[in-house]
Amino acid sequence: MQELDSRLDTLRHQAKNPPQAAELRELLASRAAVDGQARDLQVLVDDLTREQRKADADVEHVRARRVRDQQRLDSGAVGNPKDLERLQHELVSLDRRISDLEDEELDVMQRLEDTQRELDALRRQLTETDEQVTALSEARDKRLAEIDEEATRVGRDRSAAVAGMPADLLALYDRLREQKGGVGAALLRARRCEGCSLELNSGDLAVIAKQPSDEVVRCEECSRILVRTGESGI
């Protein structure tokens, strides 16, 4: 009975604390942190994408204006020397403006590429973590199913054992189990109680040796029920 109850206690503990639980908690905590970083980077990517579209539009706008001015110059439509000079100066100014805008455009593109690369790396990390979480969850669920199956089997064995026990002995055993950390009965092996690990003195052993095999005897040190076998040393 005690072996069955101890095994059930062990199975309940394993069910509450499967071996994969700690690693799963660490993975999920790590995933939450990485996911937060990925969300922040996605916001930055969206901002840079809008910034790049604006930079592209600014460059195209100035280029279109320069094309129009160049066409006016090439057409010979501007005959006034002062107007011609102003137009030429404007073309030079537009060239500088285009160069500056293209530099800004390239800078935005580079920042966008770098940020997107970081985001892609985090997404790959999230995918790998999700695969690990799935594998661990499946292993945990499999182990829990095994524990449940064994607990059911041990529970049936316990019910069969209880059916053959006197009610007063079962009540005593259950009370001691509750008081003694789950161990109400212990083997007497080599003159030592395996419940409290203390060796019984000669007097106590002599008293126990005289008791009938079906008599309930208890450890004088810890009060647990003693289970006598051929290895008890009495």
Please indicate, yes or no, whether residues 154 and 41 belong to a single structural domain of this protein.
yes
pLDDT at 58: 96
Please indicate, yes or no, whether residues 9 and 46 belong to a single structural domain of this protein.
yes
Domain, as residue range, for 14: 2-163
pLDDT at 79: 79
As a whole number of angstroms, the distance between CA 194 and CA 95 comes to: 94
Please indicate, yes or no, whether residues 87 and 102 belong to a single structural domain of this protein.
yes
As a whole number of angstroms, the distance between CA 176 and CA 46 comes to: 67
As a whole number of angstroms, the distance between CA 159 and CA 153 comes to: 10
**Residue 10 pLDDT exceeds 90:** yes
Q: Give, in order, the Cα–Cα distances in Å from 127 to each of 29, 33, 43, 94.
A: 15, 14, 20, 48
Please indicate, yes or no, whether residues 159 and 171 belong to a single structural domain of this protein.
no
What SS3 state is found at 230?
coil
Would residue 215 count as lying in a domain?
yes
φ, ψ (nearest 5 deg) of residue 193: -80, 120
Burial of 188 (0-12, 13-18, 19+ CB in 10 A): buried
pLDDT confidence tier of residue 150, bands split at 50, 70 and 90:
very high
Please indicate, yes or no, whether residues 133 and 22 belong to a single structural domain of this protein.
yes
pLDDT at 117: 98
Domain boundary among 122, 142, 163: 163
Which residue spans within the chain are E strands per DSSP? 185-189, 192-193, 217-218, 225-228
Domain boundary among 111, 141, 163: 163
Please indicate, yes or no, whether residues 220 and 113 belong to a single structural domain of this protein.
no
Question: What is the total count of domains within the chain?
Answer: 2
**Residue 102 pLDDT exceeds 90:** yes
Would residue 31 count as lying in a domain?
yes
Please indicate, yes or no, whether residues 158 and 94 belong to a single structural domain of this protein.
yes
As a whole number of angstroms, the distance between CA 208 and CA 204 comes to: 6
Mean pLDDT of 172-195: 94
Which among 102, 107, 78 is positioned nearest to 90, based on CA atoms?
78
pLDDT confidence tier of residue 107, bands split at 50, 70 and 90:
very high
> Residue for token digits 């800004």?
104
Please indicate, yes or no, whether residues 31 and 110 belong to a single structural domain of this protein.
yes
128-164: burial string, b at 16+ Cβ within 10 Å, e else? ebeeebeebeeebeeeeeebeeebeebeeebeeeeee
- For residue 48, what is the domain's CATH number? 1.10.287.1490
pLDDT at 83: 87
Structure tokens at 53: 């579209």
Would residue 88 count as lying in a domain?
yes
Which residue spans within 23-69 are E strands per DSSP? none
Would residue 233 count as lying in a domain?
no
Please indicate, yes or no, whether residues 109 and 17 belong to a single structural domain of this protein.
yes
Mean pLDDT across the chain, nearest whole number? 94
pLDDT at 193: 96
**Residue 214 pLDDT exceeds 90:** no
Domain boundary among 130, 163, 196: 163
Structure tokens at 60: 């195209």
pLDDT at 165: 87
